[in-house]
Homo-oligomer: A and B are copies of this chain.
């Protein structure tokens, strides 16, 4: 095709810009990174930036779209298959914690204290999709003790709280331990909120 080479060039420029943004987010935090910083770091002309992205936020969102695609495919798929339906497992947890461990620098930039509100919102949205996928299958209908949306937001926030603590503390324990803590704290409450779902297996508690 005629457009092949141009496409590669375009893709390279976009990647340069995104990498520069990620680097700078790690150093300074999203809010304080300036477009001038980004194009200097990426060695890209000012007008080139605006030819690709509307503004700094558009660049960020394009990065999140990649992350979203990866996570929904690699983390969102596994748990449903591994366990039968109608079983509350929160299977996304361990898979995602492993991904966090492998890319802890990236996640630190996303979840860290100085990354802006948009960053948190987008990330929360991604995780909420993973959680909702599993929980909505468990609560087909009927009167719940707590609205499903509340349970989803609760679960996401709880997971992100633990994940943030883990990253802030330089990951002093294994992903499996974090996963166990997450289940210890959340599974009983969720089971109480979705009474018709069955209970977490007792073996989870030991070790």
Chain A interface (Cβ < 8 Å from any Cβ of B): 31, 113-117, 119-121, 145-146, 149-151, 153-154, 156-158, 160-162, 164-165, 181, 184-190, 192-193, 205
- Is chain A's binding surface mostly helix, strand, loop or mixed? helix
Tell me the bound Cα distance from A162 to B151 in angstroms: 9
Tell me the bound Cα distance from A206 to B157 in angstroms: 26
Give the residue of B113, B115, B145, B186 whose beta carbon is less than 8 angstroms from that of A189: B186
What is the minimal beta-carbon distance from A26 to any residue of chain B, in angstroms? 16
Give the residue of B120, B146, B149, B184 whose beta carbon is less than 8 angstroms from that of A192: B184
Residues of B with C-beta under 8 A to A188: 188-189, 192
Residues of B with C-beta under 8 A to A117: 31, 113-117, 119-120
Residues of B with C-beta under 8 A to A157: 157-158, 160-161
Tell me the bound Cα distance from A160 to B185 in angstroms: 16
Residues of B with C-beta under 8 A to A187: 189
Tell me the bound Cα distance from A187 to B188 in angstroms: 9
Contact A153 B146 (CB under 8 A): no
Q: List 14 A–B pairs whose Cβ atoms lie within 8 Å, in order of A's numbering.
A: A31-B31, A31-B117, A113-B117, A116-B116, A146-B181, A146-B185, A149-B165, A150-B165, A153-B161, A153-B165, A154-B161, A156-B161, A184-B193, A185-B186
Q: Which residue of B lies closest to A115 (CB)?
A: B117
Give the residue of B114, B120, B154, B164 whose beta carbon is less than 8 angstroms from that of A158: B154
Residues of B with C-beta under 8 A to A115: 117
